[in-house]
Each structure stands twice: as C-alpha cells, then as structure tokens.
Structure 1
Amino acid sequence: MNFSYSSKVMELQTKLTSFMEEQVYPNEKLYEQQLNEQENRWTTVPPILEELKEKAKAEGLWNLFLPESEYGAGLSNVEYAPLCEIMGRSLIGPEVFNCNAPDTGNMEVLVRYGTEEQKERWLKPLLKGEIRSCFSMTEPNVASADATNIEASIEIDGDDYIINGRKWWSSGAGDPRCKVSIFMGKTSTEVGRYEQQSMILVPLDTEGVKVERMLSVFGYDHAPHGHGEITYENVRVPKENILWGEGKGFAIAQGRLGPGRIHHCMRLIGAAERALEELCKRVQNRVAFGKPLSQQGVIREWIADSRIEIEQARLLTLKAAYMMDRVGNKEAKSEIAMIKVIAPSMALRVLDRAIQALGAAGVSEDYTLAAQWANARTLRMADGPDEVHRAQVAKLELRKYQ
C-alpha cells in the first residue's frame, strides 16, 4: 500500500490549509456571534458562513468528497482522506466546502441510485449548496443499531406511497435550507429480513411532515443545523420518489455508510491533531510548581501517547480507504468497522488530555475542545455503535478459522 500523496492532492492540501488558517479559524467566533445575535437561532444562517462558502467555491475547494468527476473532484477515498482531515479541524469547516454530513451521504446516494429527475430536482441544488437535506433512519422506539428493526412504513397506494413513522436524530432537519429527507421504512414484511426496507425522497414541506423538536448533544443544540425528531403521518409522495426500488433500502444504507464512516474518522483525526497542537502550545507557556507544564513528566506522556494514537488511527483509516478503492466497501467492511471503533475513542482521549492540560479554559467556549469532545463522543454511536462494529470484526475474524 502506497499512501504517498499525488501532486494534485498536495496542491489541494496546501490550498485547504491556507484557507482554513486565513478564513475559517479566524471566523469561528464570528460565526457563533452572528448565530447568537439572531432572535431565533433556527431561522437564519450566519452570513459569514455563506461568505466563506462563496470564497471556497471560487478557490475550487468545493464538493471534494465525490469521486465522480462529473459532480466532484474525482478523488479516490485515499486521496480525499487527508483533505477531509484538514476540514475536520473546525466544526464549521466541512460545510464551508460543501463536504458536510448528512448532505455528503445523501448526495452520494442520489449520484448512485437516483433517477435523472431526482438528480435534477435534488442533487443539483445540493451540489451547489443552495439547499440542505436530512436522513431519517433512526427511530426512538426501537434499537436502530439493527436497521432491520425499523418500524416506519412505506405503503403503496395507487400512484403514490403513504409514509408513516416517527424518526429522530435526523441531522440537518432544523436548518431553514433543509428541503428534503431521505426516509427509510418498510415496504413489505413478507420478504427476507434485508429486503423489507426501502428509501424514499420526502420533501419536508409535504403535508403530514412535522418537526416535533430539536435534540441537543451534551447541551449543544448545533443550530441552525441541529438534530430533529420528526413525525411522518400519512405523508403522500409520488411513486417516482422511491430510490433504486422497493426492498433496496438496506443495501443503500450499507453503501451510504461506508464512505461516511471514512469521512467521520478523518475529520476526527483532524480534530485530534488540532487538540494536540493546542495542548503543545499551552503547556510551553504555562508554569506550575516552578517549571513549565511541558517539563512535567505526565504532560510529556500525554503528548507522546497522543502522537502515537493519532498516527495509528490515521494509518488504519488510510488502509480502509485504500481497500475501498481497490476491492470495494463489502471487502473492506472489517477495516471500516475497525476504524469506526478506533477513531472516536482516539479523538476522545486526545481531546480529554488537551482539556486537562488547558484546565478551566479547556471546558469553556474560548476553545473548540469541549464542542469537539461532544461531537467525538456522539460518533461512538452514530453510524453504528462501537459494540456493533466490534461484533462485525469478531465475526469476520472467526470466519477465517471455520
């Protein structure tokens, strides 16, 4: 495996790094300030975000996640990985470059499984950053880590489907620009376990769709993006809104989540790198008990352990990306499962050390550490909890000896 970067990737790394340093980091506080100045944090997007997006477009730093050159930059997973890491250093970074979840996954679904009409109506505006979307799979009344538990229904009725269900953690549902949901539900209970689910496009302004509430994450509301609990009550959409076909929902979900897990892990590595930088800068100019913190033995252990763990996580993530490029998501499922366990836990440890080294400042909003920690902790559950991924790794390992 060769993880050396091509000249194209190195050029993009340089441009992205410069853009982050010159445009994104200096405006993180302004973004929060503009958001908090709004009378309703859910109705207006901070103007600075749209300004940054236009600048990123002008720099050619747009839709880098899509491997299809017709729509994106034509980068492989291995090529995109280091770029995604750079974006992940800031919580607002991914959206600035139109590389943010869940829109990335939804766009990938539309590229691979959407009809020409679906692409025209939904994919093109998403690619331009004109609208946003959400993904409605998880349900409050079942253990959604097992997607076959999904109880929501998608029933045929003439030329339409009737949709009923209650979903939550539909990320992006609070955004005033969110116009469409990819909804997962059952079209049949009479077929095999993995052929019962389907996915369908539901415009959020359809009668019967109601965002009941926005959920917080360790107290962070993530406005104006947020995570919604949504009821779908007798929602009627045309048959042509189905994605790929009836019974294909589980297969779409598996294809969607593979690249998404790579993206999450690389962003977490970026967050950990920034945390380690903050730690190293802080401990060299803070004195306790007569000497700089950087000379305290335990601090040096934290720094060394953090560097080791970041490098380990990055290499395993690159291996997973390499295998996805060479043999596909299905053959790379063990590596994808492993990184989804490793990366959030690694990021949590590094962030925790940085918070501890910064003391009270670490838990404040003066730094991004606390918000990044909350995000990393959530990712031990999002896209499948650690326990499910560990079970998958063990199952595949045992199979070698049967």
Structure 2
Amino acid sequence: MLSTVIERPKAGWAWAPEEKSSATLAASIGYTGLPPTETAMADILFSEAERRLTLDEGFRQRPALGAALTLTGVTPNSAVWRDLLQALQSAGHGEEVRVFLIASIFGGTGASGLPTVARLLRHEIRERGLESRVKLGAALMLPYFAFPAPPPGEGPSIRPDSTTFLIQARGALEYYQQLFRLEPVFDSVYLLGSDPLIQLPGYSDGGALQANPPLLPELLAGLAAVDFLALRAPADGRTLAVGTSDGDVVGWDDLPYSDGGGLKLRAEVGAMLRTAVAWRERYASALVGDAWRGNRREAWFRTHLSATGADAVGSDACQRAITLVSRSMDDMLRWFVALNRAGAGAGRRLGLVADDILARDWASADIADIQLASGLGNSEFRRLVPPNTGPSLADSFSRLTYGRRVDGGVGLGALLAALRQACLEGVIQGAQG
C-alpha cells in the first residue's frame, strides 16, 4: 500500500489518439485536403456518418476508427511513443522489463488501440533484440456488462449498443486467433468476462457522462496485472482457467491470486481497508491543522513521527500529504463499497467487505456520492472483512502505540507503514527498531 513508485510519463497521465473536444474523423485525417485518390480510399473505408462522428466520447464500437487515429497518434516523434520506448531501455542494460496492456475487445477505443500499440511494441522489441528480456502481457476484456437501449430523441448518429457486444467479441477473438498464429505478440494473455453480463442501470453515449460503478471483472484484471508483473515464468503455452463456485456469493476464495491464494489476498486487502478506516477514524484528525500539537506526546506519535522532528508534521508539505492520503483512503473505501454492492450483477453478490458498516445507502451511479460512515466501534472494525473477524480498532491502536518503528521508514510514510502492520490479522511481524 502506497509503496509503488510511479513515474509521471512525459506525455501526461492520460493520452488519447484524438484529444480535441469537437474533432471529427474527417478533421483528424484532413479529409477535405486529401488528394482525390486518398479521398476515394477514405470514402471506401469510412461511411459519411463515421467521418462526421465527433470523437471526444470514444469510437462508438467502431474499432477501425480508433485504429486509424492510433496509428496517426503513435508516431516515432510523439511523446507517448517515446514514453513507451523508454520502458524498454532498462532491458538494454540486462534487466527484465514487463509491459502489461489492458483493454476491452468488444467496443471501439480499447479494441482498436490494444492490438495496434502491442504490435508496434513487439516490432520494437524484435528490432532491438530484446525478446529474452522484455515480456509483453495483456488482459483482454470480453463482454462483462450491458446497458439499456439509448433513449429516443436527438443524439449522435452512431450510438453504442450492448446487444452487439457478443458478436463483436467473437469477431475480435477470431482476429486474435489468426494474429497469434501468424505473429505471436504477447507472452501471456488473460481473458476475462462475465456470464451473465452485469446489467448497468443507465445509458450513456460515453465521455464524462459515463459513470459506471466498479465491476468484479475489473478487479480480476488488476489481479491479472499483479500476476504478470510479479516476474514469474510465463505459462509456456499452458491454459489456466478459474471460475466461481456454484453458490451465489463471490468471496475471497473465488478470486485468483497466485501469491498465496484468496486467503493471502484477503489478508493483504483487509489490512489496506482497516488502515484506511483507522486513518479516517483516529489519525487524520489527530494530525491535520494544529491538532498534531496536542498529540505529539502520544507514544505512537513519538515513535513513528518524531524521528524527522515533531514540527515537520505542521509543515505545509506534510499537511498537503495528509490531505492527499485522506482523500486517497476515502476514494479507496468508496470504490470497495461500490464494488461490493453493485459489482457482481444479478443472481450473484459479493462478500468482500462489510459495506453496510462503511457507508450509508447509495442510490447514485457516481462513486463520489457515496457517504462514508464515521464513528465505527471495535466490533464493527473487527468484521470489516468477512467471513472472519480481524483485529479491533483498539487492537490496532495498541499495536501501533507499543510497536517499533518500521525499519527504513521516515515521517508520515513510517506512520502509515506501521499502521498497516498494526491492522494485519494475527501477530505483527517485521517491525524493527
């Protein structure tokens, strides 16, 4: 938790082939200025409705549109391509590098971008002779959700239609089968979906208005990334399959986690959830603003924060960090509440977290509208992560108070690391003086 170093790409945190809010395909390819032969080719490849489609809300299940713009956007001189190639440089010095791509194969944006970018990367890997040191993996998202038909009335000429997802996925799988036979692109591939499809309550053409709740297959895609990036040996052609049990409750034992199974995953995620709740209930309010002055003589404060000077907690930089940590913790709790309540679809329910303890009723599709509960007691804290009980809030406080500072930890980071250890189930191990 909060231990992964993330470097900001030069191209920015997010990139899209066409970022102009009102750009059409015709404008993006310079349709009006093309020579007659290229204009005729564009007329053959793209209908008039496709050429006039504004692209700020995605490619509306038209992968050909996305592929064309991705190829024009990912060029040797583009910042995003330089970022991708930068990831390969460490391999040139003998280190193993793993690149993991995630995209749906039943829509437009992901279905077009993933194979295009992957093939370009594989070409560069071969050209640089890095096949033995660069591993390329992907999670291909099969259809896992559906939404209502678009409402009648005015709207874009081309609109998403989830009734065609399965047909498009079949076509995409046939394409990938041929691609992998002729041109092996990925070292490992994870296929993820949902049967039956998870029904979403509302329709959106896309863009900022699309606010889907987190869904179980998306958590599984994250676990696939963890599995691939753990630097294990590739599957060497083996096909591995996982699924849920026959019951209607999906629990930790049903989640694939190669590093110790569902129980280990539950312990790790449970510690993260308890840390967020404990931070929210006790420690954020004890450190924010001038409140730290009244707590600097507390044993947990002196052990975990005084090494860099107690006054450092009151600095602008530390106060900003406290605010960011609080915001991140709350966002994570909201995400798990939304996942547990709406992420499995009809006929199934998730049993990953006691969401009734964490938040009030939630009627919106927007996670930001979830109101987190406060004032949790010891018994509620113990049963945050079913089916077993964990440490109480008093247990975690006692462990943090009388435990030793985590070896190598400094300042706020040392406190967070120690708090996470205090929230682990069972006896705390690994703390050093």
| Band of TM-score, shorter chain | under 0.3
Structure number, greater radius of gyration: 2
Between 1 and 2, higher relative CO (CA 8 Å, sep ≥ 6) is seen in: 1
More strand by share: 1
| TM-score, normalised relative to structure 1 | 0.27
